[in-house]
Amino acid sequence: KQEVTQIPAALSVPEGENLVLNCSFTDSAIYNLQWFRQDPGKGLTSLLLIQSSQREQTSGRLNASLDKSSGRSTLYIAASQPGDSATYLCAVTGKLTFGTGTRLTIIP
Amino acid sequence: DAMVIQNPRYQVTQFGKPVTLSCSQTLNHNVMYWYQQKSSQAPKLLFHYYDKDFNNEADTPDNFQSRRPNTSFCFLDIRSPGLGDAAMYLCGTYGSDTQYFGPGTRLTVL
């Protein structure tokens, strides 16, 4: 059974800092990995998707990497802004399995 | 342009009173999902459909049922809601190698 872990559960950083969020998974036989953002009380917004054959994807200030062999993915956020404050979840497919998320707070 | 729409956004029901949550999509995706997300927890898959073929997860309680009358619509029925069913319910679709989610319905059980 696939298990997805995100550490830390919560992170606070000053505005302008670069930061990395971590995601690990136990079964490397994944189809793709997706990072989502969730604002309090809201649904999920897709940020980046990495196919299993890819190693990274970039969108604006966001860069996601994937290392299937080690069962890890990272989400790098450059020049953080208060509007980046949210919970970030990673999820892997085959069957879409989510991590519990990292709650990010950017301090102005 | 909303692609996955969930109604209502907030639903309050009484203990034991049946409730139905609805989801519609404009993406024409064959795959649809229902997830339950409790506070500070990961979303938990309840049901998924490929077209009208339906699968429920082994640990989805019998209290939960789902219907998909056509490609665009999907419903989640909770026959006798308990206090433990209070959660955010997320509807999603899958297509072009990407998952799309609606804004969720927050269910409160009194």
Is pLDDT at A13 greater than 90 in this prediction?
Answer: yes
Q: Which of A25-29, A74-78, B76-80 has the lowest mean pLDDT?
A: A25-29
Count how many Cα atoms sit within 13 Å of the Cα of residue B36 in the half-sphere of its side chain: 20
Question: Looking at residues A68-90, what average pLDDT do you find?
Answer: 96
pLDDT lower than 50: segments of chain B:
none
**What CA–CA distance (Å, rounded) separates A56 from A63?**
7
Question: Looking at residues A17-28, what average pLDDT do you find?
Answer: 95
Q: What is the reported pLDDT for A75? A: 97
pLDDT in tens, A28-48: 888 899 999 999 888 899 899
3-state secondary structure of A82: helix
Q: What is the reported pLDDT for B108? A: 96
A52 contacts chain B (CB < 8 A): no
Query: Which chain A residue shows the shortest CA-CA distance from B87?
Result: A41
Quick one: which of B67, B63, B66 has its CA closest to B17?
B63
CA distance A45 to chain B (A): 7
Is pLDDT at A14 greater than 70 in this prediction?
Answer: yes
Question: Looking at residues A97-105, what average pLDDT do you find?
Answer: 94
Say what percent of chain A tops pLDDT 70. Answer: 100
Q: What is the reported pLDDT for B43? A: 92
